[in-house]
């Protein structure tokens, strides 16, 4: 869609990357308008693994983006040079991409073209994701033809290939393809023709990773397969979940170089313990540690609504529970209709109705935690049934309290 040049900014005296749209795209007025809007949205992303956009504009017949210049190969070039990558490199690379994607999804932005060619590899395997917004602008401007989806077919999710509406789970699929290729040296579907590739993508399961690389463990294979589910509802719901699953299966760290000391902390943080679900169905993951909420773009969860304060609230999760604290916001933080006093922590549990100013959110458990809770509940019921005869006679008042609600189940 564009050509990238190394250029020099004479005003600020720095080297930059200048991306110039191909002439037939720049000549499309609708595409140019949508492209500028998407580029401005991407320019407001602030994340260490997302390329910095300095400027977007046009000159004569040229439409361009000015970005930070990053010296280093693309991930595609790394794959071409080495074939498969060791798992100690793969996990930190996927984690950095997942962190960037989860952040972008929280801002309401879906990348739509996650692939190794759009990933730059810097010193110490620092990863930078590029090219937000181009694909959406092309699709919305209908420059790909009726019924066609732009993007890169080899890395495209089934729903994107079929031209359906997309959310962040489409990027999770594409990230799964990238992980698959890093571990195997191959993409799941690479038919002789685009038609065959499209048919396989939509209808066939991906070949097992072990069919290309016998050294891949069953745990790694399962983790990648969960990201490559055909139906979005059956797929991992956040990119960070894939990174955590890979790290757990491989027994390596998530930081650059796979450091184990950092892995323990980051693995816990990247495994969501709660989700906040909006009325529109958007899900915001809450990780162990502190998650900040507000209008400002430096928050973990950004709610771009004027009635939300810049630093509105924070959620603190440890092994025992999650608590939310209002940071003295103007329009308040509410749990089940009760406005929280500023600075006073309040426990959160699944099913709670949370309001950040005017924004309504429902607190829910991730699917893997629902299974754990249901299993625990079944075990609890079995234990209580087996011990009831032995203890009821010796426990005064047990019958009178039998119908009383039990204590709240804490988030582990």
Residues labelled as active-site residues:
113
**Nearest alpha carbon to residue 278 among 202, 361, 211:** 361
- Angle, vertex CA 269, rays to CA 268 and CA 271, nearest 5: 70
Distance CA 3, CA 64 (A): 10
Instruction: From residue 153, give the alpha-carbon distance in Å to each of 150, 198, 306, 309, 342.
Output: 8, 7, 39, 41, 50
Do 59 and 24 form a contact (C-beta atoms < 8 A)?
no
Distance CA 138, CA 150 (A): 7
Residue 223: left if φ>0, alpha if ψ -120 to 50, beta else—which one? alpha
> Both tokens of residue 50?
């997302």
Do 244 and 265 form a contact (C-beta atoms < 8 A)?
no
Do 170 and 232 form a contact (C-beta atoms < 8 A)?
yes
H or E, element range at 292 = strand 289-294
Q: CB neighbours of 108 closer than 8 A, spacing ≥ 6? A: 282, 304
253 phi/psi in degrees, rounded to 5: -80, 170
């Amino acid at each position: 869609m564009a050509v990238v040049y190394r250029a020099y900014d004479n005003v600020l005296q720095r080297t930059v990357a200048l991306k110039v749209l191909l002439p037939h795209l720049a000549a499309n007025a609708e595409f140019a308008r949508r492209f500028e809007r998407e580029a401005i949205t991407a320019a407001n992303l602030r994340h260490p693994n997302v390329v910095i956009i300095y400027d977007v504009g046009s000159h004569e017949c040229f439409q361009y983006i000015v970005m930070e210049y990053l010296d280093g190969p693309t991930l595609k070039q790394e794959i071409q040079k080495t074939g498969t990558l060791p798992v100690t490199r793969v996990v930190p690379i996927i984690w950095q991409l997942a962190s960037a994607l989860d952040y972008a999804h929280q801002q309401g932005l879906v990348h739509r073209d996650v692939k190794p060619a759009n990933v730059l590899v810097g010193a110490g395997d620092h990863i930078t994701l590029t090219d937000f917004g181009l694909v959406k602008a092309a699709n919305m401007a209908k420059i790909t033809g009726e019924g066609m989806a732009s993007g890169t077919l080899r890395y495209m999710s089934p729903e994107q290939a079929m031209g359906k509406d997309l959310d962040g789970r489409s990027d999770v699929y594409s990230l799964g393809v990238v992980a698959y290729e890093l571990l195997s040296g191959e993409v799941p579907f690479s038919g002789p023709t685009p038609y065959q590739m499209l048919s396989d993508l939509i209808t066939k399961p991906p070949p097992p990773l072990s069919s290309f690389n016998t050294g891949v463990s069953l745990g790694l294979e399962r983790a990648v397969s969960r990201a490559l589910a055909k139906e979005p509802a059956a797929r991992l719901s956040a990119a960070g979940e894939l990174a955590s699953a890979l790290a757990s299966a491989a027994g390596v760290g998530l930081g650059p170089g796979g450091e184990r000391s950092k892995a323990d902390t980051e693995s816990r943080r990247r495994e969501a313990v709660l989700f906040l679900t909006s009325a529109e169905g958007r899900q915001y993951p809450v990780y162990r540690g502190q998650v900040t909420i507000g209008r400002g773009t430096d928050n973990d969860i950004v709610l771009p609504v004027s009635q939300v304060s810049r630093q509105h609230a924070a959620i603190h999760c440890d092994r025992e529970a999650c608590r939310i604290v209002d940071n003295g916001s103007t329009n308040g933080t509410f749990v089940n209709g009760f406005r929280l006093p500023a600075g006073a922590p309040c426990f959160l549990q699944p099913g709670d109705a949370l309001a950040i100013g005017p924004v309504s959110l429902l607190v829910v458990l991730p699917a893997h935690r629902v299974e754990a809770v249901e299993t625990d509940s079944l075990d609890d019921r079995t234990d209580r049934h087996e011990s009831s005869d032995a203890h009821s006679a010796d426990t005064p008042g047990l019958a009178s309290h039998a119908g009383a609600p039990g204590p709240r189940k804490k988030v582990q």
